[in-house]
C-alpha cells in the first residue's frame, strides 16, 4: 500500500498550516544577513522586515543535496513509499538541482519525483494546498502526479512589492529611481506567463 509524502522548499510556506501535516517536510533555504546565516523558516516575519530595512548585505542559498538526502531518508524510515518534491523553479534557484542530486544518491526503496514549477511562492503554495487534500483523501501517487503536472503546466506569475527599495536592494533598480518611486508611493506589480521565463 502506498504511503505518500510531500517535500517542499521554504519559499512555498505562504500558508503555515502546510507544515502541520504529518506527511509534509520542508527543505529550508538559507538567508545570509550581513555575516550571519539563518534558516529561512527560523526567521520571524517582523525580524525579517527589520533586516530588509537595515541590513547591508542580504544573500540567499539553496539547501544542499545532503539536506535533501537526509529528508528522503527520514521519509523512508517513516515508511513512506512515494515522495513528491516541489521546489522553487530551476530558473530562480539551485534548489531543484540539489533535490535531483540527492535523489541520485538514494540507495533505499522509495519512489521520489522532483518537480520545479515555473512559478514561485504563492503560486506554488496554491497548488500544494490542493495536492495535500488529494493525499489526505487517499488518491494514488500517479493521480497526484498527473494533477501536479496540470496545476503547474501553464502558471501565471503575479507579484507586488510594498516599495521600490526591495528592487534596489536586489540590484534591479538604481538608488535614485528607488528613492523617487518611494517618495511618489509607487508600488510595483507585474503579471507574466510561463513563457516569459524562457
Would you give per-residue pLDDT tens digits along the chain (198 residues)?
Answer: 899 999 999 887 767 788 899 999 999 988 887 778 878 777 777 777 777 777 667 777 889 999 999 999 999 999 999 999 999 888 778 899 999 999 999 999 999 999 988 765 566 777 899 999 999 999 999 999 999 999 887 655 555 556 666 566 666 556 555 555 565 565 555 444 444 444
CA distance 117 to 100: 14
Q: For residue 198, what pLDDT is reported?
A: 45
C-alpha cell recorded at residue 115: 518537480
What structural domains does the chain harbor? Answer: 4-28+63-153 (3.40.50.10170), 156-198 (no CATH)
Question: Does the global pTM surpass 0.75?
Answer: no
At 122 the pLDDT is 62
C-alpha torsion 16→17→21→26, nearest 10: -10
Q: What is the largest CA-CA distance in the chain?
A: 61
- pLDDT recorded at residue 165: 61
* Euclidean distance between CA atoms 144 and 86, whole angstroms: 12
Nearest-angstrom CA–CA distance, 165 and 172:
10
What was the pLDDT predicted at 133? 96
DSSP 8-state symbol, 21: S
- pLDDT value of position 197: 41
Amino acid at each position: 500500500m502506498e504511503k505518500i509524502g510531500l517535500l517542499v522548499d521554504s519559499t512555498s510556506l505562504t500558508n503555515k498550516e502546510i507544515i502541520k501535516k504529518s506527511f509534509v517536510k520542508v527543505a529550508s533555504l538559507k538567508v545570509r544577513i550581513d555575516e550571519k546565516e539563518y534558516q529561512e523558516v527560523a526567521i520571524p516575519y517582523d525580524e525579517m522586515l527589520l533586516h530588509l530595512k537595515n541590513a547591508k548585505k542580504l544573500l540567499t542559498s539553496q539547501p544542499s543535496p545532503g539536506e535533501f538526502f537526509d529528508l528522503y531518508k527520514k521519509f523512508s524510515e517513516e515508511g513512506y513509499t512515494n515522495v513528491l518534491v516541489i521546489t522553487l523553479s530551476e530558473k530562480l534557484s539551485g534548489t531543484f538541482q540539489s533535490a535531483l542530486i540527492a535523489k541520485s544518491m538514494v540507495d533505499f526503496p522509495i519512489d521520489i519525483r522532483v518537480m520545479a514549477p515555473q512559478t514561485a511562492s504563492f503560486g506554488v503554495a496554491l497548488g500544494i494546498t490542493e495536492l495535500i487534500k488529494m493525499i489526505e483523501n487517499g488518491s494514488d501517487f500517479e493521480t497526484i502526479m498527473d494533477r501536479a503536472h496540470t496545476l503547474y503546466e501553464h502558471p501565471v506569475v503575479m507579484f507586488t512589492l510594498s516599495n521600490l527599495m526591495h528592487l534596489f536592494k536586489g540590484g534591479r533598480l538604481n538608488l535614485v529611481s528607488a528613492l523617487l518611486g518611494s517618495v511618489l508611493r509607487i508600488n510595483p506589480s507585474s503579471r507574466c506567463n510561463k513563457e516569459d521565463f524562457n
